[in-house]
Amino acid sequence: MGVGPHPQPWPVGPQYDPELLAGGDRRNVVDGYRYWTIEAIVADLDRSRAPLHVAIQNWEHDFNIGSIVRTANAFNVAGVHILGRRRWNRRGAMVTDRYLHVHHHASVNDFLDWLAEHDVVPVGIDNLPGSVPLETARLPENCCLVFGSEGPGLTDEMVAACSQVVEISQYGSTRSINAGAAAAIAMWAWGQQHPR
């Protein structure tokens, strides 16, 4: 993966990292960001971020968080929120969290206060009784898609705080979709409703 040292003459500009130009860039970034510093990539992404936020309840040290973070990077969301335990398994993120704004909230109330301060609406994603099918739901533009831990799903406290709870329609025998897959589907659906 990646590219080797950049041939001479090197491109000129403050976005370029001399070490990467000299040694090669093996990072998982699109070609347009090859040889750029992390700071320059983040600054450039900040100019076009979606107003979408994503939150994951981390009460059980969920291994899906890394996958959700990687997908959030692919959709260039405004922020990722980890609720509960500060530590999470970053392996699945493949270092993509460095290009995102990741926020930690010790409690649901802390998280909800942050959303209210920034005019972001929480929308739960879970297959609970009364959930609205994703294909018929209208997702707010400035919203935060909230995912529970794999298995138990969203906590009752979080469900009560969400403006709506949306489910992904399923047709097989399994009780639920993997949390990482569900997050990817939900982010894609938000993007279809709010094309950029």
Report residue 181 as tokens: 């897959």
Handedness of CA 192, 83, 142, 48 (dihedral sign): negative
pLDDT digits (tens), the chain, 196 positions: 799 999 999 999 999 999 999 999 999 999 999 999 999 999 999 999 999 999 999 756 557 889 999 999 999 999 999 998 777 777 778 889 999 999 999 999 999 999 999 999 999 999 999 999 999 999 999 999 999 987 778 999 999 999 999 999 999 998 788 888 999 999 999 999 999 8
**What stretch(es) of the chain map to CATH 3.40.1280.10?**
53-193
Beta sheet of 164-167, edge-to-edge order? 102-105, 79-84, 53-58, 143-147, 121-125, 164-167, 132-133
DSSP E strands, 32-111: 53-58, 79-84, 102-105
CATH architecture label of 53-193: 3-Layer(aba) Sandwich (3.40)
Q: What is the pTM of this model?
A: 0.93
CB-hemisphere CA count at 13 Å for 69?
26
Q: Quick one: pLDDT at residue 176?
A: 80
